[in-house]
Structure 1
Amino acid sequence: MTIAITGATGSIGGALFRQLSDAGADVRPISRADASYADTSGLTAALRGTETVFLVSGRESLHRVLEHESAVEAIANAGAKRVVYLSFYGAAADCTFTFGRDHWHTEQRIRDSGLEFTFLRDNFYQKILPFFADRHGVIRGPAGDGVLSAVADRDVVDVAAAVLQDTGHNGATYDLTGPADLSMRDIAAALSRVSGREVTFVNETVEEAYVSRAHFGAPKFEVDGWVTTYLAIARGETAGVSGDVAALTGHKPQDFDAFLAENPATWAHLLPAAG
């Protein structure tokens, strides 16, 4: 069985390709250099001869759903039988997190394609949580007392490797989370412990959140995604701990403190500047 890994130059796709290669699997790396998701014919050619495709979601953009639809069409046209899609926790047509809606629409397109499928719905990645805090040590956003159950990259990779090598997961949807729910204040406390400086959380209103992000000059769809990240947390849409990582990999998911200890580069911006 030849397995195609899209996003093979990214953190998830690259690690997954190496893990499967080391395990002796027949894997083919696919990157933007081979074909973009929007290039249906080019991607079809790149995927021809594969049986299973690991589909990493494309970059956040106004046209991401259309690009995903093109990628699904290419997978089917290439003669592949199965797709394992890296989706998002709580994906729904009306979920608060605007980028989460893209994943729901992609899942529906896959369901309608005739392909066999498995959906891996990961919560927010642990690696992004330190960057919720700015260089002044402040996390800002309308998250209230809401929580998320962030997952480590390596656990997502381990789950994907297990699912890709076993067709017994066809039609399944798995929720990939860490071992605990974390509030913004929990995240701030963890960053304080590891960095040695006080990190705090400011619970903004929605209006304040848009104002505090205006200086980035980002397009509206992107700012909407940033702000609704926190709103989804406040509304309980990212809460809940799943046992799927442990069930599929045989090991417990990594906790956030362990992640921070192993990845100091993610919180280096909180340290005093040298000199």
Structure 2
Amino acid sequence: MTTIGITGATGTLGGRVTSLLAGADMRLDLRLLVRDAARAPDVDTDVRECTYADRDAVLAALRGVETLFMVSTHEGPQRRDEHRTFVAAAAEAGVRHVVYTSFVGAAPDTTFTLGHDHHFTEQAIRDSGMSYTFLRDNFYLDVLPLFADDHGVLRGPGGRGRLAAVARADVADAAAVVLRDPADHAGAAYDMTGPEALRLDEVAARAGAVLGREMSYVEEGVDEAYASRRAGWPDARQWQLDAWVSTYTAIADGSLARVSPDVERLLGRPARTLEQALEQRPRGTGA
């Protein structure tokens, strides 16, 4: 019997991984790590409450866990410290293998500013001595419509750049494959992308057709993008503004355009298209 710890089980990604693994294989024993046990999926499994920042709670929750699915925690200036604490506690608890949801091109100088956090976490996992697999996700296809404003306008400095966004369901399906046999994927870093790279005007047109609403893309300059977001969210901190704007500049400079074969290699089928991702999106995540 192998015990698998799953974080983020109350969210879309961790919830789907839980549903895919729960009861599907008698070799697997699941343990869900959640902030609030009342919100945990209704499956017959062990549930433990902890936050990434609470070292003692993490130690207690992870003792006996061999393989860990680590979904990156909420964005914010504290994320690196929380991830460092969580990774160190996982290693101390005896976890052998970590499957971490990272970001494509994670590096200290990646254009998308939050990609810096993912590089930091990858390095912390490497340094921990635990075996690992990194699922480096592009932006999520089924979340792209949420970038639009109330009028259905995607607005930002994305230029004519393209992004190979991926369906969250494909990331979850790939994670389940890796978690079942982690030794087969030790040391691997998979780029999780969709089957094609799309411009934002194409995203707007195709997403609008599926969702039954008018959608469009309006290009902004970088300074204009900062100004519009400061006006719309006057209480937003600088790191939030940088993250929002760099979402688009990463598209513009081609950082997110590469289409990877890794989803198809892991799942034995093509990655979901934008239309498939939106048609199958969970309730509450539509535009």
TM-score range relative to shorter protein: over 0.9
1:260 partnered with 2:278: yes
Residue 196 of structure 1 deviates from its aligned partner by 4.5
* Distance of 1:28 and 1:197 partners within structure 2: 41
Residue among 42, 54, 65 paired with 2:69 = 54
Seen in structure 2, the aligned counterparts of structure 1 residues 176 and 32 have a Cα distance that, compared at 3 Å, is: same
Residue 192 of structure 1 deviates from its aligned partner by 3.3
Cross-structure match for 2:241: 223
Q: Deviations over 1:147-194 (max 9, x none)?
A: 111111111111001111111110000001111101111111113323
Cross-structure match for 1:121: 136
Cross-structure match for 1:245: 263
Counterpart of 2:23, as a letter, is D
Residue 261 of structure 1 deviates from its aligned partner by 3.0
Task: Say if 1:54 and 1:84, in contact at 8 Å, map to a contact too.
Answer: yes
Q: Scaled by the length of structure 2, what TM-score is found?
A: 0.90
User: Helix, strand or coil: the match of 2:184?
Assistant: helix
* Distance of 2:15 and 2:282 partners within structure 1: 21
1:68 partnered with 2:83: yes
Residue among 172, 184, 189 paired with 1:168 = 184
* Distance of 2:157 and 2:118 partners within structure 1: 23
Residue among 175, 183, 190 paired with 2:206 = 190
Cross-structure match for 2:43: none
Q: Scaled by the length of structure 1, what TM-score is found?
A: 0.94
* Distance of 2:5 and 2:207 partners within structure 1: 37
User: Helix, strand or coil: the match of 1:108?
Assistant: helix
* Distance of 1:53 and 1:262 partners within structure 2: 27
Task: Say if 1:131 and 1:266, in contact at 8 Å, map to a contact too.
Answer: no
User: Helix, strand or coil: the match of 1:86?
Assistant: strand
174-183 vs 27-36, which moves further: 27-36
Q: How many residues align?
A: 269
Cross-structure match for 2:18: 17
* Distance of 1:92 and 1:60 partners within structure 2: 17
1:148-167 alignment, distance < 5 Å: 148-166=163-181, 167=183
User: Helix, strand or coil: the match of 2:270?
Assistant: coil
User: Helix, strand or coil: the match of 2:175?
Assistant: helix
Seen in structure 2, the aligned counterparts of structure 1 residues 197 and 12 have a Cα distance that, compared at 3 Å, is: closer
Task: Say if 2:142 and 2:286, in contact at 8 Å, map to a contact too.
Answer: no
Identity %: 50
Residue among 121, 130, 139 paired with 2:145 = 130
Task: Say if 2:278 and 2:286, in contact at 8 Å, map to a contact too.
Answer: no
* Distance of 1:2 and 1:43 partners within structure 2: 15
Residue 5 of structure 1 deviates from its aligned partner by 0.3
Task: Say if 2:84 and 2:124, in contact at 8 Å, map to a contact too.
Answer: yes
Residue 262 of structure 1 deviates from its aligned partner by 3.4
Residue 197 of structure 1 deviates from its aligned partner by 4.4
Counterpart of 2:242, as a letter, is D
Cross-structure match for 1:5: 6
Cross-structure match for 1:26: 29
Counterpart of 1:9, as a letter, is T
Residue 267 of structure 1 deviates from its aligned partner by 8.2
Residue among 158, 178, 182 paired with 1:143 = 158
Residue 260 of structure 1 deviates from its aligned partner by 2.5
What's the RMSD between the two structures over aligned residues?
1.6
